Structure 1
Amino acid sequence: MTALLPPWLAAHLPVLPVLLPSLTAMLMLVLCHPSGEIGHDDIRLRWRRHISMASAAIGLFLAVQLMIGAHEDVLAVYRLGDWPAPFGIVLVVDRLSALMLVLVYLIALPVLWYAAGGWDAHGRHFHALFQFQLMGLSGAFVTGDLFNLFVFFEVLLIASYVLLVHGQGEARYKAGVHYVVLNLAASALFLVGVALLYAMTGTLNMADLSLRVAKVSAEQAPVLQAAALMLLVVFGLKAAVVPLYMWLPRTYAEAAAPVAALFAIMTKVGVYSIVRVHTMIFGAQAGASAQTAEPWILPVALATGALGVLGALASNSMARMVAYLTVASVGTILAGVGLFTPQALSAALYYMAHSTLVIAGLFLLVELVASQRGAAQDHLRPAQPVAQPVALGLMMLLGAASVAGLPPLPGFLGKLMILDSAAGLPAQPWVWSVVLGVGFLTLVGLARAGTILFWSVLPDLPKGGAASASGSSPRLIAATLSLLLAGVVMAVFASPLKRYTDATAEQLRDHAAYAAAVLGSQGGTRAETARPYTGSGAVTPPGKKE
């Protein structure tokens, strides 16, 4: 894939983002303290921290290599067990998959660094579960098969169930029960939808489905439409769209800060699945009989953005406010997806990368502020002054400006691109009203929250009192700031990133090239690096230049 890797390793690069965290997780279990009791000075804990951080750093390096390959128009196909598609398990890394992998590890690395400040000592298996979560996320983004998408969904959900209650507490257990029940129901519905698709087409390989769905007879079309709607409901629950979002605010608000920050990418798994399935399988090429779910995406997205920001305004704590802003950001992303134009999809992908990083940083920032406000914690009411008002205040200002979409930050650029992509379309008034309204109300809500957190000081508490004397460690500040500054970096490199998302949107429309890469060649388990996407529906034969 690249000169930075030896050929034997480059040949297996697409599977490494899945194998690396799974092997690391198993090693973490071996290094677990035999007595079950751990402490901050436990030598095994220190080793787990170092190994977990090293694994995440290597994972980021591998994801970047895959992104470089995707940027060079290489669509990598990896067939496990030497079984040809569509009969065997196949992993496919295109531009979208590579982008999502990089996003996963850009969040994972600073979150692990933050958790090593003490949160990982609140339970025995934090690092193992964290790595299993990364395995599930990576697998979901690279799988080329709907059933294996279900499998990786379950892997990441099982890990998230336990991570949610990490640190224990009654509130977390209550939120965890709702989270588990709803996701188990969604998993059952996922299986039903997958079974209906298999019954109609005889395959679950995404590339094969993109060809066979259009050939389903008119008599079988209602069953196909039911399967499409079921999958939209399942992915909508994962993405937390209206009316399936009610579980998220409480769940994310009660989770430990590093867990909530990692969960910022969880809703994007649902968004990714909607983009992948409802553009490749049930897109325009599938015919009118298969496009039952697609008209729902835009109105649901606009309602999600509006209700998400209203929930943020009504929140009485910062954690719940950021959780509702997660919902609002999903609405903005899906508004671009629901327009179903390459320009709008490109804008949505750009905005998704930015919003995920910034919201992850805000979840960490909430805990930093809460830890310095005494009994009030993150509740939006007057309390003692924080010990680090300048540092935390500036970080709050940066995060608020990024989420609200103020220029010149990438939140502004992403929303501007979505608005521009809606120009001239019938839905333009609705998209403009909701996107601009969400941005304005987000700014109002965060300005109100910042005023209370940093300026509303109780008169009977002396400034710099004992409860607020201790500030956050440089490790925690640096981990949080790295996520918030990622938005600034995206603004600096906006032009190449926009070119990448433009090419990604165009590639997603070229179903013939995807199908040819996955189904067209006979090969072993080695990655097909000689099948680049050409933008014209063709796949370059091995050894032949354009």
Structure 2
Amino acid sequence: MMDHLLVMPIILPLFAGLAILWKRDASARFKRLVSLSAMALLVAVGVALITMASDDTIRYYALGDWQPPFGIVMVLDRLSALMVLLTSVLALFAGLYACAGQDEEGSNFHGLFQLQLMGINGAFMTGDLFNLFVFFEVLLIASYALLMHGGGKARTQSGLHYVALNLAGSSLFLIALGVLYGTLGTLNMADMAQKVATLDTSSAGLTMAAGLLLLTVFALKSAMLPLYFWLPRAYAAAPAAVAALFAIMTKVGIYAILRVFSLIFGNQAGALADMASPWIWWGGLATLALAAVGCLSARDMRTLVSYLVLVSVGTLLAAASLPGQQSLSALLYYMPQTTLVTGGLFLLADLIDDQRGKAGARIVKSRPLRQPALLGTLFFIGMAGIAGLPPFSGAIGKAMILQATPEGARVWLWSILLVAGLCAIVAASRAGSTFFWRSSEGEASGPLAGPARGIATAALIGAAPLLALLAGPITQFTDATAEQLDHPARYIDAILNPDPENQAMPMSNSEETP
């Protein structure tokens, strides 16, 4: 039974989504119950997968018992387990927030929400590049509808831009897959890694071109400059619960970069070894610098949080391009806190919007808030955490990244990252002073946060102090994850040379790492 857990992150949201869509005329209470129950179970599955992966065994699940490199496989290692748990926690609280009424602004919200979770988790678990493309399309199709949930001019305009860019990205993805299959004869990632290492010079050029096409696609998904201009408008226009879930979407692109360019085009790839690192390095720094300027120019809180997402993207990309396990471990510690906290800030922006009347979330003088103490406390913790102020986890993550930076790269990353943090502090201070201190005369009105919305927002923003308190055990896990990623031969052996003694079930195989 435990081996079947490897497909549960895909099966659970798939069946929950289909059940909700099948009963689309059912009551809102039924849909909420099914959706929240499925997401709560998904969190439990994520915890179980983390526990399984902690023994350093890389497992795979072969659908239909078709063994790799020919069949479809779902792979569990430390990185995929971490990403599934992160997605599950974020989705649970975003879904809880939506259940306070936002889910009724349009049709089929919960069904689409579940299908997007299926696509995201599938992207994290798959061991095959073609199925990575398939799961990308599943999550994107669901996200198109969720982005425009509730309608409106702003959502429709940003949705059309989002759809057009991602359709172009999908076309490039297919072209890259076709070229890679033509030169390597396989799309199983472990098999590709083995063949790239022994690639002859006549095929190296085409393989490099296809690899750079993949990097372009993943750069679009992760919103790396110059492919990030769609994000602020799309995230700012999306419903709060959807924008909170979208905080993980850029991390899907970063995960794909980590997986593909450490496994297939990593340091063992011969002539193509580490070919993407310079592009990721300079793209990450440029994203970080421009996003910092965007924070200062933001005129409403939703746009500000969107640019803070881009600040975290630039930081993660720059860290991903650095050599060594220390930078990988720092990246993996920083990623959960920035994902959860920015998700919580999108929810907080919606609460502030509701209580400020016509001014909404715009950074302008307006009537006082009904719950200034609660919202002010959450605003301070969230912004301090995302800007990297101690004692919150953002400061620990950034310090780890700075410490892991090689001496020759410090002049670039240290200066840009610290200035970006200062810009975030200035922008947050301007917004906070306007929302909570520069209130005009008038009666406080608007809806209260309520239990569901308050708990969801506080839980996500509360990740900033919680992850700081748990920094010791978390960094132990991220250190081991970085060590596993830095030795791709273990992944390759686990998939292509399984030990029969470890085959607990006919459809599942595992390999004990050396």
Q: How high is the TM-score relative to the length of structure 1?
A: 0.92
Identify the residue that residue 176 of structure 1 maps to in structure 2: 159
Q: Which amino acid aligns with 1:518?
A: I
Asked if 1:97 corresponds to 2:80, the answer is yes
Structure-2 separation of matches of 1:351 and 1:435:
13
The CA deviation string for residues 60-90 of structure 1, in whole angstroms up to 9 with x for no partner, is 1011101011112221210001101000001
| Aligned residue number for residue 419 of structure 2 | 437
Say if 2:466 is the partner of 1:489.
yes
Residue 513 of structure 1 corresponds to: 490
The one of 6, 16, 40 aligned to 1:14: 6
Match of 2:268, SS state, is helix
2:383 paired residue number = 400
Alpha-carbon deviation of 1:294? 2.2
Q: Is the 8 A contact 2:348 2:457 kept in 1?
A: yes
Please report how far the alpha carbon of residue 428 of structure 1 lies from its aligned counterpart in structure 2 after TM superposition.
1.3
Aligned to 1:359: 342
Helix, strand or coil at the partner of 1:528 = strand
Residue number in structure 2 paired with 1:3 = none
1:216 aligns with one of 183, 187, 199: 199
Which amino acid in 2 is paired with 1:13? Answer: L
SS at match of 2:421: helix
Q: Which residue identity lines up with residue 460 of structure 2 in the other structure? A: L
SS across alignment from 1:244: coil
Q: CA–CA distance in 1 between the matches of 2:35 and 2:410?
A: 46
Over 3 Å counting, the alpha-carbon distance change for 1:525 and 1:243 in structure 2 is: farther
Letter aligned with residue 20 of structure 1? L
Residue 291 of structure 1 deviates from its aligned partner by 3.8
Q: Indicate the residue corresponding to 1:307 in structure 2.
A: 290
Residue number in structure 2 paired with 1:532: 512
Shift of 1:526: 3.3
Matched position secondary structure for 2:60? strand
Partner of 1:40: none
Q: What residue in structure 1 maps to residue 395 of structure 2?
A: 412
Partner of 1:378: 361
The CA distance in 2 between the partners of 1:513 and 1:287, in whole Å, is: 17
Q: Secondary structure at the match of 1:403?
A: helix
SS of 1:427 mapped into structure 2: helix
Q: 175-184 or 505-514, which moves further after superposition?
A: 505-514
d(CA) in 1 for partners of 2:54, 2:274: 30
**Is the 1:238–1:266 Cα contact (8 Å) retained in structure 2?**
yes
Instruction: Return 5+ residue gaps in structure 1 as ranges.
Output: 1-8, 34-42, 539-546
Give the alignment of 1:46-195 within 5 angstroms. 46-195=29-178
1:26 and 2:18 equivalent? yes
The letter of the residue matching 1:439 is G
Structure 2: how far apart are the matches of 1:45 and 1:22? 19
CA–CA distance in structure 1, aligned partners of residues 64 and 506 of structure 2? 6
Q: Percent identity?
A: 47
1:246-257 superposed matches below 5 A: 246-257=229-240
| 3-state secondary structure, aligned to 2:509 | coil
1:480 aligns with 2:492: no
Distance 1:228 1:307 in 2: 26
Secondary structure of the 2:275 match is coil
Residue in 2 aligned with 1:332? 315
**Kept in 1: contact 2:357–2:446 (CA 8 A):** no
Q: Distance in 2 between matches of 1:104 and 1:189?
A: 26
SS of 1:284 mapped into structure 2: coil
CA distance in 2, matches of 1:287, 1:305: 31
Question: Match for 2:149: what amino acid?
Answer: H
8 Å contact kept, 1:225–1:291: no
Aligned equivalents of 2:57, 2:5: Cα separation in 1: 13
Cα deviation 1:366-412 (Å, max 9, x = unaligned)? 00001111101011111111111110001000001100111111100
Residue aligning to 1:543: none
Q: Give the drift of 1:471.
A: 2.1
Structure 1 vs Structure 2 CA RMSD: 1.2
For 2:447 and 2:141, how far apart are their aligned partners in 1?
A: 36
Which of 429, 434, 445 pairs up with 1:447? 429
In the TM superposition, residue 509 of structure 1 has moved relative to its aligned partner by: 1.7
- Measured after TM superposition, the shift of residue 288 of structure 1 is 3.1
Q: Secondary structure at the match of 1:11?
A: helix
- Residue aligning to 2:280: 297
Distance across 1 between alignment mates of 2:289 and 2:399:
18
1:256-267 aligned at under 5 Å gives the runs 256-267=239-250
CA contact (8 A) 1:75 1:528 kept: no
1:5 aligned partner: none
Among 203, 217, 234, the alignment partner of 2:186 is 203
Q: Give the C-alpha shift of residue 198 in structure 1.
A: 0.9
Q: Which residue of the partner structure matches residue 37 of structure 1?
A: none
CA shift for structure 1 position 217? 1.1
Compute the displacement of 1:290 (Å). 4.9
Query: Structure 1 CA distance, aligned partners of 2:214 and 2:373?
Result: 47
Deviations 1:310-348 (A, max 9, x none): 111101111011001111100011111110211001101
Write the letter of the residue equivalent to 2:479: D
Corresponding residue for residue 225 of structure 1: 208
The answer to whether the 8 A contact 1:387-1:469 is kept is yes
Structure 2 gaps, min length 5: none
Amino acid at match of 2:16: T
> What is the CA distance between 1:528 and its match in structure 2?
2.8
Residue in structure 2 matched with residue 6 of structure 1 by the alignment: none
Query: The residue matched to 1:216 in structure 2 has which SS?
Result: coil
The answer as to whether partners of 1:80 and 1:90 remain within 8 angstroms in 2 is: yes
Q: 1:496 Cα shift?
A: 0.8
Q: Secondary structure at the match of 1:382?
A: coil
Paired residue for 2:227? 244
Whole-angstrom CA distance in 1 between matches of 2:39 and 2:512:
28
Counterpart CA distance in 2 for 1:94 and 1:254 is: 35
* Equivalent-residue separation in structure 2 for 1:85 and 1:528 (angstroms): 10
Q: CA deviation at 1:487?
A: 2.1
TM-score norm. by structure 2 comes to: 0.97
Deviation at residue 525 of structure 1 after TM alignment: 4.9
Check the 8 A contact 2:65/2:508 in 1, yes or no.
Answer: no
What residue identity is the alignment partner of 1:193?
Answer: A
Q: How far is the alpha carbon of 1:289 from its aligned partner?
A: 3.3
Equivalenced residue count is: 510
